[in-house]
Amino acid sequence: MTGDRGSITGTPGVEHKRGRLKSDQFSGLLLLALALYVGWQNRAYPIGTLSEPGPGYLPLLLVIFLGAMGLLVALWGARSAPLAAMKWTEATRAVIILGACGAATLGLERIGYRLTVIALLVFLLIVVERRRPLPVALVAFGFSLGSFYVVGDLLHVPLPRSPWGF
Amino acid sequence: MLGFSVALQPSILVYAFVGCLVGTLVGMMPGLGPLAGISLLLPATFGLNPIIAVVLLAGVYYGAMYGGSTTSILLRIPGEAASVMTCVDGYAMTQNGRAGPALAIAAIGSFIAGTLGVVGLMLLAPTLAEFALRFGPPEYTALLLMGLFILAYMSGGSMLKTLAMAGLGLILGMIGIDVMSGYTRFNFGVIELGDGVGIVPVAVGLFGVSEILLAAGGPAAQKVQQPKLRDLIPSREEFRLSVGPIARGSLLGFLIGIIPGSAHIISSFVSYGLERRLSRHPERFGKGAIEGVAGPESANNAAASGAFVPMLALGIPTSPVTAVMIAAIMVHGVLPGPMLIQQQPELFWGFVASMYVGNVVLLILNLPMVGLFVNLLRIPYSYLYPCILCFCILGTYSVANSLVDVWILLVMGGIGYVLRKFGYDLAPVALGLVLAPMLELSLRQSLAMSAGDYGIFVQRPIAAVMFALGAVLLLLALKPLVFKGKDWREQLM
């Protein structure tokens, strides 16, 4: 799959720049941006004094450290692989899997553990993995009911139930 | 004797067996390492007494170290990250028809190294705990920072990236209520984040979910060899060649295990490199040299024991796994650290003795039952990973019955996936997260003690020595970066 490449092929200028940008330069700059963002958020907390450091003191030191490391990774990143050469063959599938897990999380306390797990397994095995329905149904029901019995009933871990008690 | 009187109680033996069995199975499954296994069992330990809880979870940990070798040898798939090096010669031995001896030497080496590691733990932990009673906030600050520098030095990848990841983990550890001022930091209006970000969702997300996302769409399951019991016995020559690597791997693994970071992973890499350098026929490595199985497998098991030394003696985790175990013990009101051995001797010595028992259990489990366990590897990965994902969600949710934790798990899975694509080591993130509250408290207490004078860290001898050691390691790690030379890690490999 073409992953992130597909999103920018229509703009040759961007593609040219992206072709020159190295993977470590890109990731280092991302870390620097993250440090700047956290530093900006940290304005809300008092820094205090050296003898009485406040809640914003260590976060400030840490964003400076992270920003410096990000900058150094970017500066030393000229010899890393080009960003455009990175392969994201599994990215689409990874996004779908994460999305399915996100939907399952939304459903977990609404429809209960067992129904959520059945729905998640059926989606992943039939839609993503294209497996045959009968084995999928056996795995989904078996895993859902079995894991609920072991974790919920035997180990007494409270797991969410559906509004219908299932 | 106190330890064995505790460890040989029938209930403890049963839980040690269950832990080892679960650990072996977990270690064999790609994407479900010891951390995910421990996280899954963590909620189940809340109702148990602390000794049983720690015995069960430790059994999962070193069981996973054993189990990881099976998939490496038979399929060239490391069930656990520490078994990566075992893949090289272990799988080559399988192709040469020597899968049985490779599995046997891995199990015997793991048993010897695990047992020697426990002896080391027994001797070193009480001494270290006694020494640590002299530590005040400046010494703890120095110790934690030195740990991060050692982590950067030992890291197999880029030192800058490792330090950046440690910084990221420390920043994550800043989320939540500041214990000294009561301010809630970086919670973005999410009340549950007031307690901070838990180690379980972060670690399972970074290591478990990201592994699944990376492996998504990979090749289908391969055909698995099922070795018979009579095929397991190594030849006299294979035994002779394995003695040295097992001894060296045990010592090396234990020493590296004490150091923060992914010690069990690093130790197996270093052991493999060392054996290749010491071998009279280094050209055999990669083509089925039994030393390439014996050394790394012994090293990663000894490292698993070594990691318990700072955890029990200082209360400081050196890996995400020991961080989760500390959390498990603390749930029961037990605080690991220098006072543990004095205040809870039955827990400390019971745990140590249970590790001897666990190693015997694992040897019995791994040798005769390997043919049975191999059946697990016949399950196609396309069926396995959705179930592993469900386990990850289940384990994370059940720790605190919190959906926010599950969201953190998924976000961390996505972040871990991207970071791994860019070649970042994720262990420092988890470690930084755990060390952050301790570091912040000790740093601020130190500064309050010295009225804001950073000189306190060089005026106190223990702290000064630790800082000096950290600085030397940092400079050594920087050397290849500045002078573009080969560093020791490249020379070993």
ipTM metric: 0.88
Element of type H or E holding A117: helix A113-122
Token pair, residue B97, equals 């028809």
pLDDT at position A60, please? 96
Task: Using the predicted structure, report yes or no on whether residue A86 has a pLDDT greater than 80.
Answer: yes
Given A62, A70, A76, which is nearest B170 (Cβ)?
Answer: A62
> Which range (A69-73, A139-143, B395-399) has the least confidence?
B395-399
Residues of chain B with pLDDT under 70: 1-3, 30-32, 77-82, 154-157, 217-230, 260-265, 374, 376-377, 480-493
* pLDDT interval class at A17 (50, 70, 90): low
**Which amino acid makes up residue B291?**
E
**Residues B11, B42: contact at Cβ < 8 Å?**
no
H helical segments located in B332-373: 340-343, 345-366, 370-373
pLDDT at position B67, please? 79
* pLDDT interval class at A8 (50, 70, 90): very low
| The residue to which tokens 């999305």 are assigned | A99
State how far residue A125 is from chain B, nearest Cα, in angstroms. Answer: 7
Please state the pTM of the whole predicted model: 0.81
Task: Using the predicted structure, report yes or no on whether residue A5 has a pLDDT greater than 90.
Answer: no
Contact yes or no for B386 and A23 at CB 8 A = no
pLDDT at position B15, please? 87
Residue B136: CB partners within 8 Å, gap ≥ 6? B446, B449, B460
Q: Give phi and psi for A70, each to the nearest 5.
A: -60, -45
pLDDT at position A6, please? 35
Contact yes or no for B389 and A97 at CB 8 A = yes
**Residues B435, B316: contact at Cβ < 8 Å?**
yes
Strand partners, A53: A48
Domain ranges of chain A: 3-85, 91-154
Q: Residue A48, SS3? A: strand
Eight-state DSSP code of residue B489: H
> Which range (A7-21, A116-130, B126-140, B278-292) has the least confidence?
A7-21
Token pair, residue B314, equals 């200082």
Name the percent of chain A lying above pLDDT 90.
65
pLDDT at position B2, please? 67
pLDDT at position A47, please? 93
Contact yes or no for B390 and A120 at CB 8 A = yes
CA distance B298 to A39: 45
Mean pLDDT of chain A: 87
Q: What is the DSSP string of B398-458?
A: HHHT-HHHHHHHHHHHHHHHHHHHTT--SHHHHHHHHHHHHHHHHHHHHHHHTTT-TTHHH
Residue A13: CB partners within 8 Å, gap ≥ 6? none
Task: Give contacts of B 416-475 with A, CB under 8 A.
Answer: 417, 419, 421-424, 439-440, 443-444, 447-448, 450-454
More confidently predicted of B64 and A42: A42
More confidently predicted of B80 and A54: A54
Residue of B nearest to A22 (CA): B422
CA distance B198 to B200: 6
